[in-house]
Amino acid sequence: MTSTTDRIAEIERDALAALASAEDDASIEAWRTRVLGRSGELTGVLRGIGGLEAEERKAVGAEANRAKQVLEAALEARREAVRRAALASAEADALDVTLPGRPVGIGRLHPVTQVRRKILDVFERLGFQVIEGPEVELDEYNFGALRIPEHHPARDMWDTFWFDEEVDGKTPLLLRTHTSPMQIRHMQSHEPPIRVAVPGKCYRYEATDATHEWMLEQVELLAIDEGISMANLKGTLEEWARQMFGPGRKVMLRNSYFPFVEPGVEVAVDCFACPGDDPACSVCRGSGWLEMMGAGMVHPEIIEAAGYDPERYTGFAAGMGVERVAMVMLGVSDIRDFHANDPRFLAQF
């Protein structure tokens, strides 16, 4: 008899100690199964009572029932304590709805996007249709059809990234260096009159510095019709410059060379930030002029290659760097800032 009541006392002591260290519902439940469950320790003792002498059975039975009640009460108390602790910690991390909210950052268009849209808005009002073309281009369109054959020194101006794949075993793929290939693609699939503006990303394999990036955006212009002259080119660009930079802007054409135009010109707009001779001017640095693009009259061989009669049709083309225009408009002195993804820079525009 003594040994059984000792055993009950031992079970009770150990169980109470174990219960005190059960910190959550799962370990409390595991404890309950182990101590009070159907094959639990105390249940085992109660089952064994049947085999005892009547008197001993009474004493052991009373002791076991007392222990069972103690443990059940302890179980309830422990459950309640754990529940309260969980509640208290939830309250501690709870949302304080009376705190003022954190300000939500409002997005904005990238400065290059803003400037590209403005450039295109003006050309659309001037009657140009906006179209786009592939960034992965055929050598033939990027160079050959623009009168820049292999080994021609003009290719040095446009080193680029090449792909291993070839199409029809002869024409390699590259990342286009300019949007001019769309002149050829569009002429091949359309008849004059043509007036298109082509925005798009271009790539060049070159060392970067404050005015050069290996990825840039351009907007190409192409107008083909009967009787188009250099005066139309200049008039169109002058009107564009006035709508972009303000009334009274002047456009200067300077002789230049691009294999796909004849004659070819560099186009500069007079400085809108100073009278034109201020050496401290951050926009023109005293030169009075801002280089914006290349342009010219579409080469008659290109008109002919498109299947148009070069005696009947003439046209002008131009290509401008969007980041270039953006630098001038926004007063940015390093082109690399545009794609460095620094929100402190981008948030200024």
| Residues at the site binding ligand DAH, with contacts judged by CB under 6 A | 178, 180, 220, 258, 261, 264, 294-296, 317-319
Give min distance, CB of 274 to ligand DAH, in A: 27
**Sheet containing 261-270, strands listed edge to edge, beginning at the edge strand earlier in sequence:** 129-130, 194-203, 215-226, 313-321, 289-298, 261-270, 251-256
Give min distance, CB of 248 to ligand DAH, in A: 26
Give min distance, CB of 210 to ligand DAH, in A: 18
Tell me the one-letter amino acid at 39: S
Q: How far apart are CA 181 and CA 185, in angstroms?
A: 6
Compare residues 60 and 219 and give the one whose CB is closer to ligand DAH: 219
CB 326 within 8 A of CB 294: no
For residue 92, with 0-12 CB atoms within 10 Å meaning exposed, 13-18 middle and 19 or more buried, which class applies? exposed
CB 168 within 8 A of CB 195: no
Compare residues 40 and 259 and give the one whose CB is closer to ligand DAH: 259
Q: How far apart are CA 59 and CA 269, in angstroms?
A: 111
Three-state DSSP at 131 gives coil
Compare residues 78 and 204 and give the one whose CB is closer to ligand DAH: 204
Give min distance, CB of 258 to ligand DAH, in A: 4
Catalytic residue ranges: 158, 178, 204, 218, 261, 317
Compare residues 237 and 284 and give the one whose CB is closer to ligand DAH: 237
